[in-house]
Structure 1
Amino acid sequence: MRHSEFCERLSIEHSTLSIWMEQGWVVPAKNDGRGEFHDADVARGLLILDLSETMGVNHEGIDVIMALVDQVHGLRSKIQALTDAIRDQDEQVQRQILQSLERSS
């Protein structure tokens, strides 16, 4: 979706979106040289609105929270890749990995 549709869906001004983009809180994907937003960006926008308007979190706090959200998302992707790699192993290797994990807990 284009910038105008994104702003409309979140009921925000274009100037607010510009601030969010400058802060790196939302980053449109490039498509034919133009920035496009996706549903995940809308979800981020809703979170930013909740943080700033409902909870009164300042910009510095939002910076920290959005960085943590990005880290969690990255970790989830890595865990999924690791899980897929383990599933590709034979059953004996899977058991050894499980036993090793149980020992370390």
Structure 2
Amino acid sequence: MREWVLVTKTEEIPLGQTRSFCVREKEICISHVKGTFYAFINQCSHMDFPLVDGNLEDSVIECAHHGAKFDITTGAVVCMPAITPIEIYPLKVQENEIFIQL
């Protein structure tokens, strides 16, 4: 059964930034884009490199290692060499606390 898990507070992730967190043995990224937060796996589907090191532009994160790009709102591949989407997680904010559903 999936449940909501507290990850961090909103002030820990500045606008336009991505941070990584270990949540129940999973490496999760949370990005702050235009006032909205998004959660996704901290692993490029191309060669398993961490996405937290990548460049975030609007809702697209680019893997710093081979340039694969992903839409963090859907997990979809935006630019190869990746061909497999990344896993995204439902996220909610309550009283400045960020929860993801695992």
Structure (1 or 2) with the larger CA radius of gyration: 1
TM-score where L is the length of structure 2: 0.25
Structure number with higher strand proportion:
2
The structure with higher relative contact order (CA 8 Å, sep 6+) is: 2
